[in-house]
Amino acid sequence: MKKKIFTGSGVALVTPFHPDLSVNYEELERILEFQIENGTDAIITCGTTGEAATLTGEEHLNVIDFTVKKVRGRVPVIAGTGSNDTAYAVELSREAEARGVDGLLLVTPYYNKTSQRGLIESFQHIASSVKTPCLIYNVPSRTGVNILPETYLALSKHPNIVGAKEANHDISALAKTVSLCGDDLAIYSGEDVQTLPILALGGVGVISVFANILPRQMHDLCVAAMEERISEARAMTVQYVDLMDALFMDVNPIPVKAAMNKIGFSCGSCRMPLTDLSPEDDKKLTEILEKHLKM
């Protein structure tokens, strides 16, 4: 059995920006403290929600370095270091490792994509280039490539590939992956609304957008599910499903940054090509937030 980087709720953290769209490190520190104080089990920085795609290489590493230093080992820090260029993913992973992260999140190659064989060779090459444990990130809606259960089985045999963030919406394929890989691959939900069914199938946690807003609630949902208090976890899922869905009413992280701004954080806007919410969606998001939070 491989050691898990974390269990429970890991937050896919936003990257706050100033009005000029430079990184707001003061607000980032405030957000990190908010997360840790409210039970988040891991910090995932520089992923999709953290707008890694529009961070410069220097910004990417600076955000990772700042996060590791401010968290100070209180919870694991996992850095997104994937790329459609395997050589660059290796470089970025080694740089993140040197800054003391606890894990690396490696997205499947996008745009140029690859075959299942290419996925195996690429991920194995990256994982062999570092000592830090690696999580594979499967999100075909963004990358155009999906990891098959048999490919997960091959990847799970690498000693440094310890888990996967699964966001392909295919519960049947996930069940097959769990059956094939067993304890050699820890599965994390990559979809907030699928956290309960994925944990019920043997997953060990979630990498959550929703946790940016309500970290304690997502932590508690995960604990209830993992302790097989299914009725309680189901009730929490049903209670918050409208907010979980609302955070994807537009391209992530547009809605979650808007929500963070509404509840008292200064996250700013997203960098282009992402834009602000439409007035209609903004109103709808406000109504849902007011239903669940004191605003």
Q: Annotated catalytic sites, by residue? A: 137, 165
Residue among 190, 98, 96, 175 nearest 139 (CA): 190
- Token output for 159: 């000693």
Q: How far apart are CA 268 and CA 31, in angstroms?
A: 13
Q: Kindly write down the DSSP assignment for every residue of 246-281, as one continuous string.
A: HTTSSSTTHHHHHHHHHTT-----PPTT--PPPHHH
CA distance readout (Å), 95 to 28, 47, 179, 255, 284: 21, 16, 35, 31, 41
**Residue 42: partners with Cβ closer than 8 Å, 6 or more residues away:** 5, 6, 8, 9, 10, 11, 75, 76, 77, 78, 102, 103, 205
Q: Kindly write down the DSSP assignment for every residue of 113-139, as one continuous string.
A: ---HHHHHHHHHHHHHT-SS-EEEEE-
SS3 20: coil
Please report where in the chains the tokens 């997502």 appear, as a residue: 218
